[in-house]
Amino acid sequence: MSVVLPARACLLLDLDGTLIDIAPTPDSVVVPVDLPGVLIALRDRMAGALAIISGRPISQIDGLLPDVATAVAGEHGYAVRHLRGGAIDCADVVTVPEAFLAEAAAVVARYPGAILERKARGFVLHFRLAPEAGPVFAAALSAMLENWPHHRVASAHMAWEVKPVGIDKGRAVREIMARAPFAGRVPVFIGDDATDEDGMAVARAMGGLGLRVQEHFLDAAGVRRWLAGLARSAV
C-alpha cells in the first residue's frame, strides 16, 4: 500500500466496512481470526494509541473485538470509553421519542428483510435485504423529523440512521485526541462511508490523515493487509 504513517501517528479506525467486511445484517458479521492479534500488536507498538470509532454501541464493539482498542467510541461518538476497562462517558442528548420508534417499526414491517435497529439515543433502518424500501424509508424519516430539531438522518451502508444532532465521529476524534495516550500524536482516521467523513475531516484539520477505504485500500481486506504489514514492521 502507498499509505505511509506520519511520525508519532495514532490509529482511529472505523469497524464495519473498514476492519470487518459488511454482512447482510449487523449480527452476521465475521471477525477474521488474525485481526485481534494484529490490532493488539499495533496498539502496543503505538504505546496504546489505537482506537475504534463505530456506529455500533460499545457493547457490540466489545463483543466483536474484546480488550483490543485502548479507546472506543460507540454510536458515532455518543458514548466514549477512553481506557480499556474504564468508565463510559455519554453525551447529554435528547432521546428519540417512542412514537418515532413505533412509526418506524410499522414502516419496516411492510418490507420483509428490513431491520429496525434501536440505539440508546436513535435508531437505524436497514434495507440491505429489502433494497426497494430505501426511498420509502428516507421519505418516512424526513417527514418524521420535519418538526423535530434534536435528531437528523444520516446515510449509511444500505441503511438510514436517525442520530442526535451534534453527535458524529468528528466529535469522537476530538474527545479521544484530548487524552493520553493519543494527545500529542498525529491522528490517522480510516473509514469507508458517509458517517466517517466527519472523523476524516477532523483528523485532517489536526494535521493528520483522513483516509477513505475505497480510495486508499480498495476494501476492508485491503485495510487488514495494510495493518498486518504495519504490525510486522516498526511503527
Map out the domains of the chain with their CATH numbers.
9-91+167-232 (3.40.50.1000), 98-164 (3.90.1070)
Strand, helix or coil for residue 44: helix
pLDDT for position 101: 96
**Cβ distance 210 to 199 under 8 Å?**
yes
Q: How many Cβ atoms from other residues are within 10 Å of residue 166's Cβ?
A: 12
**What is the rounded CA–CA span in Å between residue 77 and residue 124?**
16
Strand partners, 61: none
The label of the residue with cell 477532523 reads: 202
Q: Take residue 150 and report the three cell numbers written for it.
A: 434534536
- The distance in angstroms from the start CA to the end CA of the chain is 15
- Global confidence as pTM: 0.91
- Specify whether 34 is catalytic: no
Tell me which DSSP letter residue 41 carries: H
Helices (H), the chain: 35-45, 58-64, 98-108, 134-144, 169-177, 197-205, 213-216, 220-232
Q: Give the H/E segment covering residue 205.
A: helix 197-205
Output the pLDDT for position 234.
Answer: 58
| pLDDT per position as a tens digit, 91-141 | 999 999 999 999 999 999 999 999 999 998 899 999 999 999 999 999 999
Cell of 17: 466496512
User: What type of residue is 203?
Assistant: A
Query: What are the mean pLDDT values of the chain's consecutive 10-residue runs (235 residues total)?
Result: 86 97 92 97 96 96 96 96 95 94 97 94 95 97 96 92 94 97 98 94 98 97 96 74
- The pLDDT, as a whole number, for residue 2 is 74
Beta strands in the chain (DSSP E): 9-13, 50-53, 71-74, 79-81, 88-90, 115-118, 123-126, 151-156, 159-164, 186-191, 209-212
Residue 55: the pLDDT is 92
